[in-house]
Homo-oligomer: A and B are copies of this chain.
Amino acid sequence: MRLRLDLAYDGGGFHGWATQPSLRTVQGVLEGALATVLRAPVTVTCAGRTDTGVHARGQVVHFDLAAGDLVGAAGRAGKDPLGGLVTRLNGLLDSDVHVDRVVEVPEDFDARFGALWRRYAYRLADRPDVVDPLTRSHVVTWRRPLDDAACQEATSGLVGEHDFAAYCKRREGATTVRRLLDLRWTRTDRGVVEVGVRADAFCHHMVRSLVGALVAVGEGRRPSSWPAAVLAAGQRDPAVLVMPAHGLTLEEVAYPPDDQLAHRARETRTVRGLDKPDLPESSLSDG
């Protein structure tokens, strides 16, 4: 049987998502807890492999196991083995990672290739009286005030399907074409800037670079037309800052209805982009 597991974590205490020898990673602690509860090695596949320091509220993974493993592991929670699994996992995990739910999904469900879109948020506090020690884990303090109207204007030139090479850490042979569905610069009621970004997939450092370009506009160093001009130039511009990791949170991943899962996974695995083949790796990195 295939299971989908939704989880949230504070990335501050992890060396990113992917398992690394002798480093604490989210995949490492999650697979460790699963192996303890299920008494068998488990390998999980995630929707967005977050970098060191990046958080998640809506990370999704899938993994497979034999139905018998689950019944054995659930123990006294036999009537609700998946609920029992969640409880036991959260009992083992530290407080910086939390399993929200586990559900059985069709064999066609693929957390990685089946996703329709990923949504990230980047958070900034740009005024001294907005700095809040209670949210310092995931809101970046910015020393100069940012102009909301200029930033909002700058977002419009970036939405759509483009080659985001200028905003990506390039990987050999991987396309950098992505469909940016939404990019919104919002001022919340607490005065924090929240940049919401939604795309079919992101390449490495993409959200943090897009926000870096908007911040240059917000500070008045560049005109509102600049982020789109950088995009059109098609290569990395050293004037675009890659913003600090801890402002970034993977908020949500969306999947199609069950009867379209197989189609979506095939579609993602095939050629993506304008003129070159996609390598699966490229669609997975966090923003």
Contact of A96 among B86, B128, B133 (CB under 8 A): B133
Pick out which of these stretches binds chain B: A27-35, A134-142, A144-152, A207-215. Answer: A134-142
Stretch at the interface among A69-77, A97-105, A109-117, A192-200: A97-105
The verdict on A120 contacting chain B, using a C-beta distance below 8 Å, is no
A112–B84 alpha-carbon span in the complex (Å): 50
CB of A8 within 8 A of CB of B134, answer: yes
A136→B95 contact, CB < 8 A: yes
Contact status A134-B137, CB under 8 Å: yes
A57 proximity list for chain B (CB < 8 A): 132, 134
Q: Number of contact residues on A: which range applies?
A: 20 to 34
Instruction: Name the one of B6, B97, B133, B249 contacting A10, with C-beta atoms under 8 angstroms.
Output: B133
Q: Is A119 an interface residue (CB 8 A)?
A: no
The minimal Cβ–Cβ distance linking A66 to chain B, given in whole angstroms, is 26
In the complex, A89→B96 CA distance in Å?
Answer: 30
Check B97 against A133 for contact (C-beta < 8 Å): yes
Q: Is the beta-carbon distance between A98 and B8 smaller than 8 angstroms?
A: no
Contact partner of A129 among B10, B96, B101, CB < 8 A?
A: B101
Q: List 10 A-B contacts (CB under 8 A).
A: A6-B129, A8-B132, A9-B133, A86-B128, A95-B133, A95-B136, A97-B133, A98-B132, A100-B128, A137-B137
A residues at B contact (CB < 8 Å): 6, 8-10, 55, 57, 86, 90, 95-98, 100-101, 128-129, 131-138, 249
